[in-house]
Amino acid sequence: MSRSASFTRRNFLASSGAVALTAASGLALPSYSRANARPVFTHGVQSGDVDATTGMIWTRTDRPARVNIEVSTTESFANAYSLPPLNAFPDSDLAVKQLLTDLVSDQNIFYRLTAVDLGDLNAVSEPIVGHFKTAPSAKRNIRFAWSGDTVGQGWGIDETGMKTYATIASHTPDFFLHSGDTIYADGPLVEETTLKDGSKWKNRIITDEKRKVAETLDEYRGQWKYNMLDDHVRALNAICPTFLQWDDHEVLNNWSSSKDLTADDRYTEKSIALLSARAARAFHEMTPIRYTPAEPGRVYRKIAYGPLLDVFFLDLRSYRGPNGPDMEDTITPQSSILGANQVRWLKRELLNSKATWKVIAADMPLGLVVWDNAKDKKGAEAVANGDNGAAKGRELEIADLLRFIKSAGIRNTVWFTADVHYTAAHYYNPDKAQFQDFEPFWEFVSGPIHAGTFGPNDLDQTFGPELKFIKAPTPEQGQNLPPSAGLQFFGLVDIDAASEQMTVKLMDREDAELYKVTLDPVRSI
């Protein structure tokens, strides 16, 4: 795909110090003294939710500070302009974010930040630099990556670090879509774990917040800060916007209103409502997700990425009914997984979309069975209820949505998801389904990006999914394989400007191509 001749990933990383863990680059580890003369940017920079004319940027300082912002379309900052400064205060854990507006489409945007100590205005940080490219207003080649599941099952930052992030960065995507389980707030880390072959996994970095399950607001914030201590994560963040959604582990495993922590001695706070509220605040403080005035904590949204692509981010967690048998015959608040407001929004936005491809980013797959009680295989955690029959429970909302997409003549919907910790390609075929009132579509699954590898899961046949590809642990390998086993996955998507074809590749962390398919767009009659 085309890139500006004046911008290369290598020279930008070198000039911004995005990889080096040094104070000069603003990426030092967070162990500071007030005696230090200069403020420090503790966790790099992030950008996100970029469209043709706007994009969100984020950073965090080590003390109360005024953050000055310069924006430029050149790496040299020769034509830079300044924005009003932001104040980093303790009530937001010293994190700040800013929506950049009035940008030019299809343009490289460089932003440079400096921090001024609010207690000593003569103390000024070294600058830190980030980059993103705005969405096009005309047809051009588009590339994006997606995956999910970061620092799960006790696999933290080892000597290698989160290598899959570096592999993604090597492809210079326009954006990275993180499909949920962006942190594991319920996954404490220990220094050392003995693997099956007798070797040791050693977590090189552990913070206090990662030694226990998150309960307080500061502990939830600490989950995000931990991930950004990884060199590869910060390097990708510095050059590529991340579009985020959330799932369960941003709060705790399989959470819904029916979750009962009474017998879980790890938690002194037993209220799911309070834990999820704290987690949601940390999610919005520590990421470059957009703020929605109509619903300040909202995660579902649409990002318009030019005439070839619209991305619709779903939230399958916030509005669901309680996890249970999932066998209701009608749509009720108890059987919902999207909720009535989100369904209405999605139908309206899909109907209004003029983009060739409508990517539906779901934090959980449609046809894979995910049990709430995995040991006894009871209770639905995702959409599928495992009975292979007519649509029931949460499947009813999805059936209604798929019927609407067909009846409204909405073309070229493709679903991208994660959650199950392996990679797969599914083709949903109404001819093989129990519910048949929909047009065929593809669903691609990827992840983990840095967590334990599991699977495979059973496929529920309500919507007729055909398994086209799978890469998961073998019975001999077992479950919860560490990242060092190599079964860490991401997907790479290319949309060609001339043909408008979408090519989807399933990749592993060593950059091996595991599966590839090219989809032709269906033209409206």
Pair of tokens at residue 241: 């916007």
**Mean pLDDT throughout 105-130?**
97
Q: pLDDT class for 525, splitting at 50, 70, 90? A: low
pLDDT of residue 25: 33
What CA dihedral angle connects 315, 374, 275 and 421, to 10 degrees? -50
C-alpha–C-alpha distance, residues 238 and 374, integer Å: 38
The DSSP line for 451-489 is S-B--PPPBP-TT-EEEEEEE---TTT-SSB-GGGS--E
Do 247 and 181 meet the contact criterion of CB atoms below 8 Å apart?
Answer: yes
Q: Tell me whether residue 348 is exposed, middle or buried, using C-beta atoms within 10 angstroms of its C-beta: 0 to 12, 13 to 18, 19 or more.
A: exposed
- Range of weakest confidence among 32-41, 190-199, 353-362: 32-41
Cis preceding linkage at 473, omega within 30: no
Instruction: Render pLDDT for 16-58 as a digit per residue (tens, 0 to 9).
Output: 443 333 333 333 344 444 546 899 999 999 999 999 999 999 9
Q: pLDDT class for 524, splitting at 50, 70, 90? A: confident
The conformation of residue 57, written as its DSSP 8-state character, comes to E
Do 177 and 289 meet the contact criterion of CB atoms below 8 Å apart?
Answer: no
At a CB cut-off of 8 Å and minimum separation 6, what does 169 contact?
9, 232, 235, 236, 239, 240
pLDDT over 70 (residue 182): yes
pLDDT over 90 (residue 212): yes
Name the one residue in this structure whose structure tokens are 């580890």. Answer: 29
pLDDT of residue 15: 46
pLDDT of residue 229: 98
**Percent of the chain clearing pLDDT 70 (strictly above):** 93
The pLDDT mean for the chain works out to 94
CA distances from 523 to 356, 357, 407, 411, 443 (A): 9, 11, 16, 8, 20
Tell me the residue type at 459: L
pLDDT over 70 (residue 6): no
C-alpha–C-alpha distance, residues 335 and 57, integer Å: 37
Instruction: Render pLDDT for 369-411 as a digit per residue (tens, 0 to 9).
Output: 999 999 999 999 999 999 999 999 999 999 999 999 999 999 9
pLDDT over 60 (residue 308): yes
pLDDT of residue 265: 97
pLDDT of residue 302: 98
**Mean pLDDT throughout 241-250?**
98
* Strand 413-417, strand 441-445: pairing: parallel
pLDDT of residue 427: 98
The pTM is what?
A: 0.94
**Percent of the chain clearing pLDDT 90 (strictly above):** 91
Strand order in the sheet with 81-88: 81-88, 65-72, 108-117, 128-133
C-alpha–C-alpha distance, residues 293 and 291, integer Å: 6
pLDDT of residue 170: 98
| pLDDT higher at 99 or 294 | 99
Q: How many CB atoms lie within 10 A of CB 159?
A: 9
**Mean pLDDT throughout 309-320?**
98
Instruction: Render pLDDT for 123-159 as a digit per residue (tens, 0 to 9).
Output: 999 999 999 999 999 999 999 999 999 999 999 999 9
pLDDT of residue 3: 39
pLDDT of residue 523: 84
pLDDT of residue 12: 52
Give me the domains of the chain, ranges plus CATH numbers: 35-134 (2.60.40.380), 142-519 (3.60.21.70)
